[in-house]
Chains A and B, each alone.
Chain A
Amino acid sequence: MANKNKKKNRLIFRVIVLIVLAAATVFALYSTLTKDDQEVIQEGDQAPNFQLKTVNMEQETMSLGELEGKGVMLNFWGTWCPPCKKEMPYMQELYPEYKEKGVEIVAVSLDDSRLVIEDFLNEYGLTFPILHDKTYQVNDAYGVGYLPATFFINEDGEVVKKVVGGLTLDKLEGHLKEIVPES
């Protein structure tokens, strides 16, 4: 009987030690593999709120929180970035239609100079809200590395789709459809 107990205790001891060691290993592996994505907003994450100065709106600042209940396409771009420039007309083309449907397009410029942004939106005739993230704080909050980067956020504030790189008109429209609010 004592023998049996001893054996059982030994098994329990071994299992506990192995579980602790396995947990440490899993933690190390998981941390290594997700190291690069740790500070990056992924699909399925809640979009962090922010507040930025506007470029082409009457109100001086705009926050993501203001758009609660709407689908939001959040686009990070810069005037020096060719694929960013390429997708802007597509966004403009679809903007009026999707605004009706409850989707807001918000483009966050990472330029230093406001003048350059203003020039750009006059040249391209952009009417959707352009925000100015001069200090890169919002860029960092979303962990954006390459431009353009686009987050499609549904009415609950969840990132449904994240696209790094340029979008075609078709793809853009497809993703916009995904975030049209239900009601």
Chain B
Amino acid sequence: MNKIKCECGHINPEGTVLCESCGKPVEQNQHIDGNKHNKLLNMRYDGSARRSQTYNKSFVDKIWNFFSSVKVGVWLIAITLLASSLGTIFPQEMNNQSSLPADEYYEVNYGLAGKIYYQLGFHDLYGSWWYMLLIASIGISLVICSIDRVVPLYRALKKQKPVRHESFLKRQRVFGEAEHVTDEEKETLLKQLKERRFKVMEQDGHLLAEKGRFSRWGPYVNHIGLIIFLIGALLRFVPAMYVDEQLWVREGETEVIPGTEGEYYIKNEDFFVEMYDENDERYKEAIQKEGGSVPKNYQTNAVLYQRTDDSLPGAQPELEKVKEGSIQVNRPLKIDGFALYQTTYQLNEFKSMSFKLHEKDDPNEESLGEITVDLIDPKQEYKLDNGYRVVLDKYYPEFKMENGEPITESKYPRNPALVFNIYTPENPNDPEVSMLGVGFNIDPSESNDYKLGITNVEMRDVTGLTITKDLTLPILGIGGFIFMIGVIQGMYWNHRRIWVQPRENGLWIAGHTNKNWYGLKRDIQQVIAGTNIPEPNDQLERKE
């Protein structure tokens, strides 16, 4: 490694642009910060040697240097932005609410564009490996860029000396010369620097006045916050940290809460939708404008249970009631870090049907007995008085005729149809067959003496809940908070430096700040007030 020895005697690492000690430009390295042809110095990172631009030997160094480039980082961010926006053109697979599989959905709905979209993998963009790789690369770039800049910058700011090379001062943006300066004036200058809360270092009559160096660490604090944020996002992949599940529960039923490893159960006591009162003076007008009824509340009254035994999946668990309460939109019921949100519902699923048996030609339809069939888990046989007996022979929860055969389309009682065998005292072994459903009551033999008639239908509602658990939120919060501290640190403080160099009878004065040049110039004005030192020039302004 070739160290660079400056004429001031300081030994700088390879790649140094401005001597760490005296600030003299290192001739052969001026191209790095592009100030070869400029009169003014580029003060970026205080001219320190960024490692990325020096060693490029081993494989590890090559990878390191790739990610250490800010240019690469900016490109990664640009590509990610572009990809993210492309992902919003058509719905993502997980949100498209279609029964079609993805390979058909996009082509059917969006034609050729949709097909290309699907084949390029944009249908599941945010879960695709290359998108993850982009995000990860941004994270890596963030870490390596920061390390490679914060260390040399820290070093350079720590090593700087009040005695600076002539050319360093001359090539600062704010620079001025005073021909004659008395000792009193120098005293006043020093005093006023301290009054302006500059930290002043002195060496052989040379002054370095500095304040707000802490502002320079803002971007790195900000990056630490971002990295913590990314770690939080990464932890969402750990099931114990993050749960997001759906659950349907019928009124009166108890279900295991997904994501809780079978530990918690929920019973839906009641679900209801409330509407705003159309006769209420306050809402009348708005409801009419809306052209119908407006929902006011969706609510599930629930009981939560905890399992107290260690039984196997499928076995009847022993449950203990642990909590009771209501779930409304945005008002979840919480237990042990899990939150149960009201997200959807289904009204009026069939729960049970009641029938009465009567003689077919009886004009009064006088009841020979009533039965109630539970449509979720019906009983087979129903005994009536006087020797009548009804047997449920076939049950189709969601009835449909297909190729002349009755079938059920699902197990949910959405369109129940039932086939009964009716045993009567006259014919105890030879039943009459009767088929009933929503809107039909068929006597297949057309010779029945008895008939079953629907007397009552009980309905119930099904509630749709979302179960969430997110232990990564505090981490995301801390990350965001540190991020903001970094932003504030970098934005609201300025790193200002003023150099004063004694000349034969007078002095030179130069200033640098990382932002807000107006503030620096005002500082200098106040520092030289009451002396004959002329106000330094802004060399950038003069050029214009």
Contacts and interface: CB of A to CB of B under 8 A. Distances in A.
Given A7-B1, A135-B256, A18 B312 contact: no
B127 A35 contact: yes
Contacts of A17: 143-144, 147
Nearest to B393: A119
A137 B314 contact: yes
Which of the listed residues B58, B127, B408 has the most CB atoms from chain A within 10 Å of its own CB?
B408
Interface in A1-51: 3, 7, 10-11, 14-15, 17-18, 21, 24-25, 27-29, 31-33, 35, 38, 48-51
Contacts of B395: 113, 115-116, 119
Contact of B64 (A18, A27, A33, A131): A18
Contacts of A135: 255-256, 314
Interface in A44-61: 48-52, 61
A101 interface: no
Contact count band on A? 35 or more
B83 interface: no
Contacts of A68: none
B511 interface: no
Contacts of B412: 112
B312 A24 contact: no
Interface in A95-117: 110-116
Which of the listed residues B135, B312, B410 has the most CB atoms from chain A within 10 Å of its own CB?
B312
Contacts of A124: none
A73 B311 CA distance: 23
Interface string A134-149: 1101101100000000
B505 to A, nearest CB: 45
Nearest to B68: A14
B60 interface: yes
Interface in B214-233: 231
Interface residues of B, number: 50
B313 A115 contact: no
B133 interface: yes
B61 A14 contact: yes
A28 B311 contact: no
A119 B418 CA distance: 13
A146 to B, nearest CB: 11
Given A80-B408, A115-B380, A15 B60 contact: yes
Contacts of B378: 113, 115
B377 interface: yes
A80 B129 contact: no
A29 B408 contact: no
A79 B411 CA distance: 8
Given A11-B58, A32-B237, A110-B411, A133 B63 contact: no
Given A51-B314, A116-B397, A25 B237 contact: no
B262 interface: yes
Contacts of A14: 60-61, 64
A63 interface: yes
B377 to A, nearest CB: 5
Contacts of A71: none
A48 B377 contact: no
Interface string B132-148: 11011001100110010
A78 interface: yes
A79 B408 contact: yes
Contact of B313 (A33, A79, A111, A138): A138
B445 to A, nearest CB: 20
A141 B315 CA distance: 12
Given A18-B60, A115-B378, A140-B258, A25 B411 contact: no
Contact of B143 (A21, A118, A138, A140): A21
Contacts of B392: 115
Given A15-B60, A28-B234, A112-B377, A50 B398 contact: no
Contact of A27 (B129, B135, B234, B258): B234
B58 A50 contact: no
A24 B237 CA distance: 12
A88 to B, nearest CB: 15
Contacts of B398: 80
A49 B262 CA distance: 14
B478 to A, nearest CB: 18
A11 B139 CA distance: 21
A28 B397 contact: no
Which of the listed residues A15, A33, A38, A135 has the most CB atoms from chain B within 10 Å of its own CB?
A135
A115 B312 contact: no
A113 B376 contact: yes
14 contacts: A7-B1, A10-B55, A11-B61, A18-B60, A35-B127, A49-B312, A49-B313, A61-B315, A80-B409, A110-B411, A111-B411, A113-B377, A115-B378, A141-B313
Please give me the 6 A-B residue pairs with the lowest Cβ-Cβ distance, nearest first.
Answer: A31-B237, A51-B315, A25-B136, A52-B314, A51-B312, A50-B314
